[in-house]
Every structure is written in C-alpha cells, then in structure tokens.
Amino acid sequence: MSHTQQQIQAEAHRLYGLLANVSKTKTAKWTLEDCLAAAPYTLAINQAKQEKNAVILAHSYTTPDIVYGVADFRGDSFQLAQQAQKSNADIILFAGVWFMAQTAKIINPQKQVIIPAGHAGCTLADSMTGEDVQKLRAKHPGVAALCYINSSAEVKAQCDVCVTSGNVFNIAQKMPGTELIFVPDMLMAQNIEIELKKRGTPKKIIASGGSCCVHDKYRPEHVEQLRAQYPGIVVLAHPECAPEVCALCDYVGSTKGMADFVAQSSHTQFGLLTEGGLVNRLEAEHPDKQFVWPFGTCSYMKKNTLINTLQALLDPRPDQVVQVEPALAQAAQKSIQKMFELAL
Ligand code: 13P
Ligand code: SF4
C-alpha cells in the first residue's frame, strides 16, 4: 500500500462523494474519516485488480465500501451470474456468499474465482444436499424440479432449471405440468404457488424446508408498524419473506426489482423488508428519498471486507479459491444454462 497522502486524500473524497448519505450504523452515516480509513485499501485493491486483470463482482448486500469503492459490477444474483458469464477477466473476485462464487466458477471453469469471505454460507444453500433432492424427486417421479440459485452445485446438478428471485415466477410459469418441485426455500415456494394462481396458471409446488435467516424474521406486524408510524409509506419485500408478509406489501421482488421499483416511483418514503446492504445502495443512489429499515443483516455477506478482499486478490488462501469437480460443474451448469435460456 504505497500511495501518497495526496492520493489517499483524493480517494477519500471520491468515496465520501458516494457514501455521504449512506448509513454506517443505525444512527450514523459514513464520514470523511471513515472514507480516509478505507481509501488506502480501495486504492490498493483497484491497483491490484488492474495488474492481475481481475474483475470484482459484488452483491448489493455487501458493505458500501466494497460496493462503491472497488466493485466493477454490483447487483442481484442474476445480474452477477450474467456478468460472470460475460467476463473477459482472468480472475473473478466475488464479494458475496459461497454459492454465488461457486456459480461463477461453474460458468467459468477455466478462470480463477476467489471469494474473500471464504466458505461464507447461506442458510438456504446449506439446508439441503444433492441426495435430499434425489430422494424428493424419487417420491415425485416425472415432476420437473427448479432450484433457487441459493443452493449448492450438488443441488443444482440434480435439478432441471436454476432460478433467481428476479426470474422465479416467470420461469415457474413456463414449466410444463401442474406440479413443480422447488427447492430449497419453503417460503418462496409458497409465494410461487400464490403468484401462479394469481396469474391463472396454478401449479402445486412441492417444497423442501429451508428458509433465509434474514427474511424469515419479518412478520406482518413489521409492515403494520411501518404503516402506522409512516402514513403513506411504500413497503417493499423480498420473495424470501413469508407469504403473509408479502401479502401486506406494495411490491415483492428481487434486490434489483426493489431497486428498479424505487427508481421508477414518484413516492419518497419506502419501508424495506430486506438485508441492510440494499438499503445502503438505495441511500447512495437516491439521496432525495427516505428509507426505513426495521432490521435484517446477513452475517455471511458481511464476512467480505476491504481487508480480506485485498489479501485474497494478492495471495488467496486455499479456502478462498473456488474449486468445483468438473463432472459436478458440468451437471450443475446445465440447470444454470437453462435459466439463461428461459429468463429471456
Ligand atoms: P437477489 O438475487 O434478489 O439479490 O437475492 C439474493 C439473496 O441472497 C437474497 O437473500
Ligand atoms: Fe442466504 Fe439469506 Fe444471506 Fe441471502 S440474506 S445470502 S438468502 S442467508
């Protein structure tokens, strides 16, 4: 980290220009001092990225110093998978959780894929094994199986099509038959069943028992409290929330869907039932709008820091380098490829 004081000052001001409206804690915003502390790292990471021909893909739930300081692309699971597929870089550094980096590796077996957070789990991805899917499919022969992208390579390899929160409803609707297996999110499975019924194309959804430890904490009272405290507030939720919560919200969609909704809305006050990183992104991008966030932090996403991003880029530990056995990668890739076709 050999940048001059002048370069560090300039970088801190660049960061502060992006983060001044972003919450660092529940009660404090990012300060110039915070940005001064981050600047030597963002400078070093951006330099190492160029020298190594690396690209940084960051999920919106990672911290704003990563999202705005060093990421080349920021977005939801689908956008980041698309970027991974398009990338010409030699190295993909994925600031996210393990299943996301693993998906990038499956799409790019020839590239080095690294994840600063190491084996950062996800309660959904960790809830089910490939063998569990095999057993479920054996009980329901002839029924097509969708897997949420928040799943392991083993689970993806056992399913017909992978989906993300941004395309799940449309892809589920396109699937043949009146029954569908959907794993591993039981709450999203219920939301699919409800949505397909609304669209006039009902299907029985056969689910497993996983849930997101962040989104499954929201209850109808959280929506009611937001509406009571902020009359006229527009409430948005992720489809990993329970259906009784989603039913009370004004919009339900992926992190990109929520961001697009806010960008297109003439309203100025939004309640967000999702992980705090998205709240930070919206604060950065819409300083004229107000965001109310009851709670919700994904500790797995937050394992990515500027410090381990720099370390992983310069000299990754074995647990930060994603490896997927080729036969497994090939089997899992089919369901991801099918998603790209059906999402069009
Ligand atoms: P998105 O694809 O909407 O970004 O969701 C990913 C995720 O992990 C939500 O908890
Ligand atoms: Fe997994 Fe939930 Fe974290 Fe998303 S927010 S990565 S679903 S644990």
Domain shared by 104 and 42, yes or no: yes
Do residues 11 and 102 both lie within one domain? Answer: yes
* Alpha carbon nearest to ligand 2 atom 5, residue: 298
Residue 341 belongs to some domain of the structure: no
CATH assignment of the domain containing 312: 3.40.50.10800
Q: Which among 212, 235, 266 is the end of a domain?
A: 212
Q: Is residue 344 part of a domain?
A: no
What pLDDT score does 208 carry? 96
Tally the domains of the chain: 3
Among 212, 237, 252, where does a domain finish? 212
Ligand 2 centroid distance, CA of 213 (Å): 7
Closest residue CA from atom 2 of ligand 1: 77
Distances (CA, A) of 17 to 8, 65, 122, 225, 285: 14, 12, 32, 33, 11
- 194 and 162 together in one domain: yes
2 confidence band (pLDDT: 50, 70, 90): confident
> Does 150 sit in the ligand 2 pocket, CB within 6 Å?
yes
Distance, in Å, from the CA atom of 44 to the CA atom of 341, rounded to the nearest integer, reads 38
Query: Are 161 and 198 members of one domain?
Result: yes
98 Cβ closer than 6 Å to some ligand 2 atom: no
Q: Residue 274 CA: which ligand 1 atom is closest?
A: 10
Q: Measuring from atom 1 of ligand 2, which residue has the nearest CA?
A: 122
Residues 83 and 16 occupy one common structural domain: yes
**45 inside domain:** yes
- What's the CA-to-centroid distance between 188 and ligand 1, angstroms? 12
Co-location of 136 and 224 in the same domain: no
pLDDT > 90: percent of the chain: 99
Beta carbon of 212 within 6 Å of any ligand 2 atom: yes
For 138-177, the pLDDT digits (tens) are: 999 999 999 999 999 999 999 999 999 999 999 999 999 9
Cβ of 124 less than 6 Å from ligand 2: yes
**Whole-structure pTM value:** 0.96
| Confidence check: pLDDT of 1 > 60 | no
Last residue of a domain, which of 212, 241, 265?
A: 212
* 214 CA distance to ligand 2 middle (Å): 7
186 with 287, same domain: the answer is no
Question: Who contacts 75 (Cβ-Cβ below 8 Å, separation ≥6)?
Answer: 57, 59, 60, 83, 255, 256
Is residue 199 in some structural domain?
yes
Q: Which residues line ligand 1 (CB under 6 A)?
A: 76-77, 150, 164-166, 212, 238, 240, 254-255
Taking the centre of ligand 1 as the mean of its atom positions, its distance from the CA of residue 132, in whole angstroms, is 23
Q: Which domain holds residue 42?
A: 5-120+301-320
pLDDT digits (tens, 9 = 90+) for 36-70: 999 999 999 999 999 999 999 999 999 999 999 99
Helix, strand or coil for residue 204?
A: strand
Closest of 85, 56, 82, 53 to residue 69, by C-alpha: 56
Say if ligand 2 is within 6 A of residue 298 CB. Answer: yes
145 and 175 assigned to the same domain: yes
CA of 6 to the centre of ligand 2 (A): 39
Reported as a single tens digit per residue, the pLDDT across 282-340 is: 999 999 999 999 999 999 999 999 999 999 999 999 999 999 999 999 999 999 999 99
Say yes or no: 130 and 202 in one domain: yes
Whole-number Å distance between alpha carbons of 192 and 172: 7
